[in-house]
């Protein structure tokens, strides 16, 4: 499997100074606690279809491909989409001018949804598909308010796409490990309004200390197992692409896996906590930095509600070795 191209949709930014003012707290304290200077906020009229098509279009341009070459669109989201039914991936396909040439479906696995989709896409390629778009859209700002300050202080919106296809050389997923622990369903949750009879809002259901401890344990488990399945040691990893929930927890996760500052791109500081979009936004920033070389190994990892967690060892595509 190869990463053929990546892209994001551009969104307006909201500063931490503004958030601090609304919460009536110190901007300096909020920056220290979150490590976030600004977060993306999509306009109220923005649709999943239009935003997704923008990101997929950017990824297709980077890959040098036309939209008509896509055989499948997987839309990853924790925030519903344009419709409950049918799948909102259809809106992305329609905005791209596609129909009856591909299939489309939605996927939700909290903050690990992108890893789940990438794992599925690789298996699709192994059974005959050629080019697949994974587009991750998280419009979390629509499900938070100042009454939940832990959520309001960190969450933003993110839209990113990745085009995957058959490798031209040695691109591959070398090891993948994904798991869920439903015992932690209440850790981060947004109850369906048909059940709660209330407007859906994101809420943390456990203390920050418990959330941090659980997250670090799950990152350790998934990274260890993904490296084992890939048959590689940590020193064989050139790049790290972590889920970035907030600055302090990101620092602890990176220290846990032994990542140096030169081995990752920090996106949470400018974009906020992006749910499932955090990983592909970080991947796009890394790829567009121009530093990735063919056959470099990258470790992708994350943890989220559900409790969903996982890690993946990816080898970037390049010419065949002689």
Domain limits at 99?
A: 2-165
> Is it true that the peptide bond before 307 is cis, omega within 30 degrees of 0?
yes
Judge contact between 122 and 318, C-beta under 8 A.
no
pLDDT, tens digit (0-9, with 9 covering 90-100), for 70-99: 999 999 999 999 999 999 999 999 999 999
**What is the average per-residue pLDDT within 199-215?**
89
Same domain, 45 and 148: yes
What are the residue ranges of helices labelled H in 258-301? Answer: 268-271, 278-288
Judge contact between 299 and 312, C-beta under 8 A.
yes
Whole-number Å distance between alpha carbons of 271 and 257 = 23
Edge-to-edge, what's the strand order for the sheet holding 297-304?
172-180, 308-315, 297-304, 239-242
Judge contact between 121 and 134, C-beta under 8 A.
yes
Q: Which residue has the tokens 């299939």?
A: 103
Six-digit token pair at 289?
């930095």
Whole-number Å distance between alpha carbons of 21 and 36 = 15
101 pLDDT above the threshold of 80: yes
Same domain, 22 and 100: yes
- Report yes or no on 320 lying in a domain: no
Stretch (H or E) spanning 3: strand 2-8
Reference 92, options 125, 126, 46; nearest CA is: 46
What are the residue ranges of helices labelled H in the chain? Answer: 16-23, 27-34, 48-63, 89-95, 113-126, 149-152, 193-196, 208-230, 247-257, 268-271, 278-288
pLDDT, tens digit (0-9, with 9 covering 90-100), for 1-39: 999 999 999 999 999 999 999 999 999 999 999 999 999
Same domain, 61 and 100: yes
Same domain, 264 and 159: no
Same domain, 11 and 158: yes
The per-residue pLDDT for 305 is 87
Same domain, 68 and 177: no
Of 110, 142, 165, which residue constitutes the final position of a domain? Answer: 165
The per-residue pLDDT for 319 is 63
Same domain, 42 and 155: yes
Whole-number Å distance between alpha carbons of 139 and 158 = 7
Q: What mean pLDDT value characterizes the chain? A: 94
The four Cα atoms 307, 113, 202, 89 give a dihedral, to 10 degrees, of -150
The per-residue pLDDT for 234 is 82
How many domains, the chain? 2
Judge contact between 278 and 247, C-beta under 8 A.
no
pLDDT, tens digit (0-9, with 9 covering 90-100), for 220-261: 999 999 999 999 988 899 999 999 999 999 999 999 999 999
**What is the average per-residue pLDDT within 34-50?**
97
Of 165, 188, 206, which residue constitutes the final position of a domain? Answer: 165
> Confidence band (pLDDT; 50, 70, 90) for 67?
very high
Same domain, 231 and 160: no
Instruction: Decide the pairing of beta strands 103-107 and 72-76.
Output: parallel
303 pLDDT above the threshold of 50: yes
**What is the average per-residue pLDDT within 208-219?**
93
Residue 135 CA from chain centroid, whole number: 9
The per-residue pLDDT for 186 is 82
Same domain, 58 and 146: yes
- Report yes or no on 322 lying in a domain: no
The per-residue pLDDT for 322 is 39
> Confidence band (pLDDT; 50, 70, 90) for 171?
very high
Judge contact between 138 and 158, C-beta under 8 A.
yes
- Report yes or no on 64 lying in a domain: yes
> Is it true that the peptide bond before 271 is cis, omega within 30 degrees of 0?
no
Percent of the chain with pLDDT over 90: 86
Same domain, 147 and 296: no
- Report yes or no on 321 lying in a domain: no
- Report yes or no on 109 lying in a domain: yes
Of 134, 165, 196, which residue constitutes the final position of a domain? Answer: 165
Q: DSSP state, 297? A: E
Same domain, 185 and 307: yes
Same domain, 13 and 150: yes
CATH number for the domain that contains residue 186: 3.40.47.10
């Amino acid at each position: 499997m190869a990463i053929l191209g990546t892209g994001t949709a551009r969104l307006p930014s909201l500063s931490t100074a503004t958030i601090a003012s609304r919460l009536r707290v110190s901007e300096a304290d909020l920056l220290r606690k979150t490590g976030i200077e600004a977060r993306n906020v999509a306009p109220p009229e923005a649709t999943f279809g239009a935003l997704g098509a923008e990101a997929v279009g950017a990824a297709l341009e980077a890959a040098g491909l036309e939209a008509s070459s896509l055989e499948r669109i997987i839309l990853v989201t924790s925030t519903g989409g344009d419709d409950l039914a049918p799948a909102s991936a259809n809106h992305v396909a329609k905005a791209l001018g596609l129909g009856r040439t591909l299939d489309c479906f939605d996927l939700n696995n909290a903050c690990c949804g992108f890893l789940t989709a990438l794992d599925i896409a690789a298996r699709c390629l192994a059974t005959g598909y050629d080019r697949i778009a994974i587009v991750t859209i998280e419009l979390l700002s629509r499900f938070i308010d100042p009454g939940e300050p832990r959520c309001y202080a960190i969450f933003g919106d993110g839209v990113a796409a990745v085009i995957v296809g058959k490798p031209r050389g040695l691109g591959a997923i070398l090891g993948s490990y994904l798991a869920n622990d439903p015992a932690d369903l209440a850790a981060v949750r947004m109850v369906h309004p048909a059940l709660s009879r209330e407007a859906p809002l994101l809420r943390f259901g456990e203390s920050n200390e418990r959330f941090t401890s659980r997250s670090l344990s799950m990152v350790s488990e998934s990274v260890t197992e993904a490296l084992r399945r890939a048959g590689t040691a940590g020193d064989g990893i050139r790049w790290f692409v972590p889920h970035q929930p907030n600055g302090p927890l990101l620092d602890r996760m990176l220290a846990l896996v032994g990542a140096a500052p030169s081995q990752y791109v920090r996106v949470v500081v400018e974009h906020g906590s992006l749910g499932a979009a955090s990983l592909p936004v970080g991947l796009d920033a890394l790829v567009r930095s121009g530093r990735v070389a063919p056959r470099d190994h990258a470790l992708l990892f994350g943890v989220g509600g559900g409790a969903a967690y996982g890690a993946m060892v990816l080898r970037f595509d390049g010419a065949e070795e002689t």
